[in-house]
């Protein structure tokens, strides 16, 4: 959830962050996501102190510096978070709405048991249609993304169970705390494929990413060929950004779509 953020010190000296949601139910969706992630007992999140339809109150995280040691621990904890699982692909957090958000963009949590079909129908194609309608992606260009969707069963790699995803895991939502521990904020949490979170970390950069991946693979090895699937998983966030921010992200989405098609001939 994007939104205005204010730091407030309470009468007892405790500092909290107060955030106003940009859309109906956005604050409740974020609160449900934070609680669901925290309940895995893996990566830490700021404690939720209160929420309603418009407002979210959480603890403030004292900022620190990213370190290699914290990155390895974060990778291990992220693997444990994913392993906590979800009831289905597209499953919303308990108490979370079907109509949620990723940043400023609406995102629907509709469940399915088959990841390739679900990912195409509920993560890639809705934003592709939005980009085409806005003129950000031309209809002839959209055919390349549509072909990736058609071929997802062969591009997706080995079948994996639904993972408990943060869902919007770019570097800005990874807080390196003064205590040396990472906290995750601003989730678009849902059941998905674990490689999607990792692909988003790579897309927008993350300090010590190689060490994060080292820690992750210590706890949960990735399936063979995962590096070649990064672009497939980046299609979703790139198309979201194309809808929100324009042509530059559309060109990146088209580049990774065409690379995915070439990767398997």
- DSSP 8-state secondary structure symbol assigned to residue 138: -
pLDDT at 50 over 60: yes
Here the tokens at position 141 are 């260009």
The whole-angstrom distance between residue 43's C-alpha and the CA centroid of its chain comes to 14
Which of the residue ranges 22-36, 51-65, 142-156 has the most confident prediction, judged by mean pLDDT? 142-156
Structural domains in the chain, sorted by start: 3-263 (3.90.1200.10)
Task: Tell me, yes or no, if the pTM score tops 0.85.
Answer: yes
Q: What is the pLDDT of residues 117-162, one digit of tens each?
A: 999 999 999 999 999 999 999 999 999 999 999 999 999 999 999 9
- Averaged over 102-107, what is the pLDDT? 90
CA–CA separation, 259 vs 251, rounded Å?
12
- Of residues 237, 236, 209, the one with CA closest to residue 75: 209
User: What are the φ and ψ backbone dihedral angles of 186, each rounded to 5 degrees?
Assistant: 50, 55
- DSSP 8-state secondary structure symbol assigned to residue 208: T
- DSSP 8-state secondary structure symbol assigned to residue 171: G
Here the tokens at position 103 are 């940043």
Q: What is the pLDDT of residues 175-195, one digit of tens each?
A: 999 999 999 999 999 999 999
- Of residues 212, 232, 13, 37, the one with CA closest to residue 120: 232
β-bridge partners, 18: 6, 57
- The answer to whether residues 45 and 183 touch, using CB atoms and an 8 Å cutoff, is yes
Q: How many CB atoms lie within 10 A of CB 157?
A: 18
CA–CA separation, 161 vs 114, rounded Å?
9
For residue 19, the number of C-alpha atoms closer than 13 Å in the C-beta half-sphere is: 26
For residue 165, the number of C-alpha atoms closer than 13 Å in the C-beta half-sphere is: 29
């Amino acid at each position: 959830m994007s939104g205005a953020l204010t730091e407030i010190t309470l009468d007892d000296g405790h500092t909290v962050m107060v955030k106003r949601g940009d859309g109906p139910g956005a604050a409740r969706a974020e609160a449900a996501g934070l609680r669901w992630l925290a309940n895995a007992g893996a990566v830490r999140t700021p404690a939720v102190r209160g929420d309603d339809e418009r407002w979210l109150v959480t603890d403030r995280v004292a900022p620190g510096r990213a370190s290699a040691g914290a990155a390895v621990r974060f990778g291990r904890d992220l693997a444990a978070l994913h392993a906590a699982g979800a009831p289905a692909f597209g499953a919303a957090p308990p108490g979370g709405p079907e109509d949620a958000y990723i940043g400023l963009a609406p995102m629907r949590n509709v469940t399915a048991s088959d990841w390739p079909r679900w990912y195409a129908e509920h993560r890639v194609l809705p934003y592709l249609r939005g980009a085409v309608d806005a003129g950000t992606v031309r209809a002839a260009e959209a055919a390349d993304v549509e072909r990736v969707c058609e071929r997802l069963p062969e591009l997706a790699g080995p079948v994996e169970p639904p993972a408990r995803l943060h869902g919007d895991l770019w570097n800005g939502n990874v807080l390196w705390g003064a205590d040396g521990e990472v906290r995750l904020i601003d989730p678009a949490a849902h059941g998905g494929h674990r490689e999607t979170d990792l692909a988003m970390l790579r897309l927008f950069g993350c300090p010590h990413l190689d060490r994060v991946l080292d820690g992750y693979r210590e706890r949960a090895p990735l399936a063979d060929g995962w590096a070649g699937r990064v672009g497939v998983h980046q299609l979703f966030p790139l198309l979201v950004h194309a809808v929100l921010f324009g042509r530059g992200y559309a060109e990146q989405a088209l580049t990774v779509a065409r690379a995915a098609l070439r990767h398997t001939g």
